[in-house]
Structure formats: structure tokens, C-alpha cells
Structure 1
Amino acid sequence: MTRLIVAKVAKTFAIAPRPKLVASFAAAMTALCSLLFVCSSAIADEKTDALRDYVSKRGVFPPKGAGIHVHGDLVISDPVNRRGALPEKRHTPRHYFAMLPYGMVRYHGAPADIRDIPPGTHMHGRFLSPMEGEEETIPVTEQLLKRNKNYGNNHAILLEDDVSFYSRQGRSWKVIGFEQGGGPAPRLKLSVEPVGPEIEGGINKPALFDIDDSTRIWKDRRLVHRDEIKPGMEVQANFTWGPFDSLATTDVWLDDVSLDAFKEIQRQRHLRLIRSRFLPGWVDAVKNYDTGGGEVTVTFFGGMDQELYDEIWKSQSVKMCNAENTLRTWGYHQEYASRASVLEKQKIENPAFGSSGLQMRLKVVQMLDGFRPGKIIRVKGPWTYVLVPQDEVYEKPADLERAQRINLP
């Protein structure tokens, strides 16, 4: 191809191409193409590293693709502070994590909270580097980082069970049949193959999952025997740890009707939780009035049910209190949240991952100390006020100090 180009150029300018000249030019072009390929690969690697090591900042949502994929069973859970640990394999150290303030949890295909996830549930997460100022929340030793630098990514923007992870991305499992496993711990296996797109961090090839009488199998919203599982069926499933780092089924859904029932139950749990704890977000801008009070512009976090956003969007008067990165509020401030009236509403197009895209400018009667740009707030919509458990709120500075680092078991 290069020789042909040189020949055409030479003909155009009435230059007689010489074999040595053509060969030299071809070699130079080959070297240049190789150099360009190496440079483009290096640039791509730099972009990948930058996304993997992205450090979140207050008031700024991370770019698309930031962080790494992590999976494992939820063996440790701190629901109050939204933290936990996932060991990927039996002999690997626990991957401790804290949810980012805008970190989203999904269970059974619906919005959730750490408190909703049963211990031992196999989870998938998107983990970023700690937010600025939160580096000490999850202690990580140099020895652990030398073993695997991924342990430095310990703040989650997304955490979800298998059925949420796969169904959200258009994936299901086609049943091949059952197989009797061998080896030192023979177990019955459910043989499946993936249906749908290839997924980062997912199982993208035929697989065998442990299945026994403890597996809950759902059809027509009721429990059935595993004899109801037939070859050719497309099913959804949740998993937990199995012997020799296998995955064992906890639930298998044979139809959408059954899975939708689970999804609706979890959605209702989520609605009850947020209506009593208020919708979280952070402060974008503040304007203080000389006579007290002022204006606060807030952006609500993503991952909540649309019904909550619709309810808050219709409101003309709300209440707002300050919170911390754990989303825990201060007891007094939640009980006596500052009244606010809505001055302006805005929907942001193509919001960043972690953002709802809903922004409000509020006129507050009382400007609390926590109403500062980048700080976390929670806004009460048209919901009945209830007193939350005392363990969930900060009562004194010592409570906040104690919660700033994870308590390792």
C-alpha cells in the first residue's frame, strides 16, 4: 500500500521512484505507525489509570467509568454508617468499604440501603478512591496495597446484589440442566449460560452454580420445588459463598411476576426509610441574608425511587437539616429542621452518575452551620415526621469523631 502511494506521488510530480527510496519511505511509515500506536496505547492507559484512581471532591460528582469493579459476599455490615466488607475469595483479605454520600445501593432490582442486605449476600460494587478528607475512614496498610492496590479503592458509588447487577444490564441465565458435581465435596449444580450482553465484572461464559434444598425457587409469586426448573428457561438468581470459592444459589426466579413482587416489596421498604430520614443531597451554593436566614441551592443524590423525587418536586415548602458523609443527621437539627420555601427548581440534563439531576434553590428561615457548599443535607418533603432511632443520629461531637473511622472486627 505504501509503495503504491509513493508511486502515485512520484507520478504526479514526474519523479521516477527508486526502489531504495520507496523501501526507505515504507520503513519510515511503518516505524511512524508503530510509534503512533504505542503513544495512543499509552494515552489510553493513562486515561484508564486516571479513572481508576479518581479522587472524589466535595460538591463534584465523579466522571463516568470512575473506579473499579469489586465483588464478594457481604460478610461485615455497618448499616448506621453505611459501611461493610466484601472478601472476593476465601483466602483474600476483606475489602472494607464505605459508601460515598451519593453512593447507591440496590437490592432485588430496587433502591435499598445497607441495612436491607442479608449477611452473606454476594454483591457487586463500583469502588473509588476515598473522597478528599476521608482517607482515614478505611485504614489500609502498605502491605495490603503491595498485595493488591485495588484495596485503596474503598469508597463505593454503587453496591448491588446479583439479580440487580445482571437484570439492570439486560442479562439473564438460560438453563442447560442439572449436573452432579464431583471432587471432595460433591454437590448438585445448576448448569446455565449467559443471555444478553457481556458485562464488566460479570460471568460471561457458561457456569455451574450450587443448588440444594435451601435454595428458594420462585414461580407465580410462590415457592416451588426445583423440579420446576426446566432446560431452556431464562431465569434470574442471587448467590452466596459456596465451597472452593464457588457460587451457591440462594434464590432463583423463574418468571418476571415473582421478581417484580420482590422488587415492589423492597421499593416500599426504601420509601418508608427515606420518608422518615429525608431525601439526601449536598449544597451547591449559599447566599446569606443580612437579617438572618438566606438561600441555599441543593442537588439531590441519585439512586432513590422516582416517587420520592416526584413528591419533593411538587412541594413548595420543605424542611432541611444538615448531615455528614455517612448521611447521619444531628438529632437536634433533624427534629427542628429549618423551614424552607422553594424559590427555583431546575432539572439538569444528562446528570452525572450519583446525581438525580434535580436542583432546588431554597429560602431558609434559619441558616445552620452545616449549610455550606459541598456539605451534606437532607430535605423533608410532604411526609409525616417520625423520631428515628437515637443510634442513627449524632448527639454530640464525640459521636461524630467515633464514626469517622470504621471499627474493624
Structure 2
Amino acid sequence: MTQLQLARWVALMYCGVSLLASAATAADAPFRPETGKFPPLEKAYSYRGELVFVDHANRRGSLRVAGEGMYFRNPPHPFAMLPCGIVRYHGAPADLRDIPLGSVLHVRAFLPPDPKISAVPVLPVNNREKTSGYSGQGIAPAENHVLLLEDEPSYCLREGKVWKLKEINISNRRGMIVASRELRSGGDGKATEETMTFDAATRIWRGRELLGIEDLIADGVWPDAGKKSLDGQEVLLGITWKPTTGDVFTRFHISDIWLDETALQRAAQQQTETHKAFIRSRWMPAWIDDVEYGKFGRATVTATLFGGMDPSLYADFQKGGPAMMNAAENTLKHLGGNYGPSHMASRGSLLEVAKATDEVPLGSSGVQIRFETDLIIEGLRPGRVVRVCPGSWPQVNLPREEFLGDGNPDDRFPTPAIFPKY
């Protein structure tokens, strides 16, 4: 099995659903998740848009959502990741800080689980049905708490799709490509052609090479000028948005083209290593299923580790091994981290590490741990979010914006006041 095939398999396992499971349509009723439960992907509302702002420390940002009207007029729409929400970039696990601004992302989102502590504005439940001037309908859905956020290649890998290039029209190292996103196994009759721009800054990945437009022209693959049929060449695309000429208000731009599996495999491997190092320094997020209290501060905590990580991270949790568990906020920020996460954390050992054998919902790893400690802290209660660190991971101090000193959500940097009022 190649690395890319493994990435596809892992992506499907994270989702816990078959390729036949579809996102919600505008006709479905908005769904509000319950605290401490993984929401069903099939009840999520689906949309896509350009990433225009990121507050990585609070796992939130803003997207310019594609609606029915003039895309460039659409104001940024705030979103927040659910505690168990998964980010994927280049077919690999990611954090919001890894995704470049301008990337067009696919979203699966819900209403805020608890509007009172939402890190972004809470909107009327029917907000996706409202029309906003020239922007049209659907640019500010109330479903702004995200379970799955993925770039174009990640989305295609999960759905078993590819882009088929039909025609290129080029002049002076820039131009347009006509393509359609279709099932890799064969057309389903639902694919529609889309015209996207490219320019000299578009990156083309072939095997271990990074190419430019001029390289494909020199090889005779693309013409120096004019039109050429590309005969349905199968590729994966990175998509962004740039202002365009000709009074075209919704035309996306190609930032990257991956010509073969080796090229994307390398991108996925690099992103995976970046994310593994990040999680080991910030600890694995989870939430608590149950707490059995003993005497004199002793307790046994049962928790489910969140999904979307590389399998090697879960393998670091070993029965009998030492571990630490610290309380966290819904943005996954550590609480009481002034002297590092380990300063306030409960220390103990892993009594059990169990892997679920049935279908695992998106957001869950299916890995449940039982952790025994002789000093339980206040934040370790059923339904609460925590961070867990096996004994083999490094102990570091976190930057000030990544922890809450006294556990008060108002300690966020910056506060929700930065977002527009609706």
C-alpha cells in the first residue's frame, strides 16, 4: 500500500462513513450538536469558501462563502472549529495555522452546541436562507461550528474524486482551464464543467519535482499560446480565489496542480510530520466520558481521544505507561498554563487503552483510555474537554495566546468583538 493509498484509507476511517454518505442540503433542518457527543456527519450543512482570516490560537477564522451572487462582495463569515473538529490539508491532518489564506475550503458544520460560550457570533437559525443584496443567498449560514474543514485535494481524496482537465487557453504564461470534478471510478452524470484561471505563480508538482508553467510549455505538454485539448487528464488541484477581469464574479483560481500520486504523497507526508510535531507539543485533545472518584483526591478517568490524527500518535498511548491530563477550553486551549501545561495537570498512569471495533463517528478516534491519578483537578469532569500527554512526549511551555490563565473564556486573544455584528 502506497503512502497516498494509506492517506485515503485513513481519511475514510476518520470519517467513519462510506463514500455514499452525503452532507446536508439546504432543505435539511439545522442541527445542534449535544455537548460531549460526536455529531453525525450526515446532519452537517455543507458549503465552501475562501479562507480570509485565521485566529489559530482560538481555532476560528472567517471564510468568504460562495453563494448565489457576486462573490467578491461577500463579507467574511466567521466560523469556529468544534472541539472534536478535524482540519485536513494536502490529504493529511492539519491545524488552522497550516492553511494559507486564500485557500478554498470545504466545510461540514453545525449550529453552535452552546450559544452562550460560542467563540464566534451566533446567528438566526434560518440565516442561510436569507438574501444579502448582490451577494445573494447562503453566504452567512448559522451553521458556523465546523466538524470537518478540508482543502480541495483532501476533499477529493475522501470522496474518491479527481479533476479531469478538458481544455487550456493560455497567453503570456496565464490563462484558463476548463475542468470537471468527477468520481475517479467513473462519471456519475452529475459533474459540471468549471472554468478556472491559472498564472505564472501556479505550482505544478510532478513526482519529486516542482515545475512552473514554462516547464510544461518547454516539454510540449502545454502550448505557448492558444487553446489545446487536455483529453480529460486526471489531476488533483489546489484552489484559491483571485480577483478576475471580464465582470466574472465567481471564478476560482488554481494554485497547485498535482500530476501524479507521488507528488501528492510527498505533500501529505510533509504535512503529516508537521502536524505530528504540533500535537506532541500541545497534547492530544479528548473529552471525558466518566470519572470514578476515590478517596483523598484519587480518581479514574475514562476519556475518548479525538480523531483526525496520524495513527502513530495514538500508538504512543500504551497500557501501563505514564501520562498527564490537563483541563482545556472548547477551543482546546490549556487551562492554568502559566508555567506550562504540565504544571497544573493531573499525573498518573494508563490503566487501559481500548480501540472501538464498530463504526467510529467523525471526530472520534475510537480510542478510549482509562487514566488513574492520585490528584484529580477541577476541570476533569464528564463532558469536559481535556488534553492528554503520554510519558514519551516532550514537555514545553506554550505561548501566552495558547492558554487561559484562570479558565475564563473572556481571556481569549482577541475577543469575539473583532467580528461583525449581525
TM-score grouping bracket, smaller chain normalisation: 0.7 to 0.9
The alpha-carbon deviation at position 49 of structure 1 amounts to 8.3
Shift in CA distance, 114/175, structure 1 to aligned 2, threshold 3 Å: same
Matches within 5 A, 1:149-298: 151-179=141-169, 188-196=175-183, 204-226=191-213, 227=216, 231-232=230-231, 233-242=233-242, 243=244, 244-298=249-303
Which structure's residues are more often strand, by fraction?
2
Distance 1:379 1:255 in 2: 38
**What residue is the counterpart of 1:342 in the other structure?**
350
**What residue is the counterpart of 2:6 in the other structure?**
none
**What residue is the counterpart of 1:84 in the other structure?**
61
Q: Which moved more, 1:217-226 or 1:298-307?
A: 217-226
**8 Å CA contact retained: 1:187, 1:210:** yes
Distance 1:51 1:62 in 2: 15
Matches within 5 A, 1:379-394: 379-381=388-390, 382-394=392-404
| Structure 1 residues 1-49: Cα deviation after superposition (integer angstroms, max 9, x where no partner) | xxxxxxxxxxxxxxxxxxxxxxxxxxxxxxxxxxxxxxxxxxxxxx978
Question: Structure 1: which amino acid aligns with 2:372?
Answer: K
The secondary structure found in structure 1 opposite 2:36 is coil
Over aligned residues, Cα RMSD in angstroms? 2.7
Distance 1:49 1:144 in 2: 11
The secondary structure found in structure 2 opposite 1:138 is coil
Shift in CA distance, 269/136, structure 1 to aligned 2, threshold 3 Å: closer
TM-score, length-normalised on structure 2?
0.78
Matches within 5 A, 1:8-407: 52-88=29-65, 89-134=71-116, 136-140=118-122, 146-147=130-131, 151-179=141-169, 188-196=175-183, 204-226=191-213, 227=216, 231-232=230-231, 233-242=233-242, 243=244, 244-313=249-318, 316-330=321-335, 331-332=337-338, 334-336=341-343, 337-348=345-356, 349-381=358-390, 382-397=392-407, 400-402=410-412, 405=416, 407=418
The secondary structure found in structure 2 opposite 1:245 is coil
The alpha-carbon deviation at position 399 of structure 1 amounts to 6.1
**When the two structures are aligned, how many residues end up with a matched partner?**
356
Q: Which moved more, 1:168-177 or 1:110-119?
A: 168-177
Give the structure, 1 or 2, with the largest relative contact order (CA under 8 Å, sep 6 or more). 2
**8 Å CA contact retained: 1:103, 1:158:** yes
Distance 1:50 1:280 in 2: 33
**8 Å CA contact retained: 2:258, 2:264:** yes
The alpha-carbon deviation at position 70 of structure 1 amounts to 1.6
| Structure 1 residues 37-92: Cα deviation after superposition (integer angstroms, max 9, x where no partner) | xxxxxxxxxx9789642211221111231221121110011000000111122222
Listed as ranges, the gaps of 5+ residues in structure 2 are 1-23, 66-70, 132-136, 223-229
| Structure 1 residues 186-207: Cα deviation after superposition (integer angstroms, max 9, x where no partner) | 96111223331699xxx93222
Question: Structure 1: which amino acid aligns with 2:35?
Answer: R
Question: Structure 1: which amino acid aligns with 2:207?
Answer: D
Question: Structure 2: which amino acid aligns with 1:373?
Answer: P
**8 Å CA contact retained: 1:120, 1:240:** yes
TM-score, length-normalised on structure 1?
0.80
Listed as ranges, the gaps of 5+ residues in structure 1 are 1-46
**8 Å CA contact retained: 2:404, 2:411:** no
**8 Å CA contact retained: 2:320, 2:351:** no
| Structure 1 residues 318-352: Cα deviation after superposition (integer angstroms, max 9, x where no partner) | 11111010000020571322112122232222112
**What residue is the counterpart of 1:35 in the other structure?**
none
**8 Å CA contact retained: 1:52, 1:128:** no
Distance 1:159 1:315 in 2: 35
Distance 1:354 1:192 in 2: 32
The alpha-carbon deviation at position 406 of structure 1 amounts to 6.1
**8 Å CA contact retained: 1:394, 1:400:** no
The alpha-carbon deviation at position 274 of structure 1 amounts to 0.2
The secondary structure found in structure 1 opposite 2:176 is strand
> Percent identical across equivalent pairs?
35
**8 Å CA contact retained: 1:198, 1:204:** no
| Structure 1 residues 331-375: Cα deviation after superposition (integer angstroms, max 9, x where no partner) | 057132211212223222211221111111111121111101110
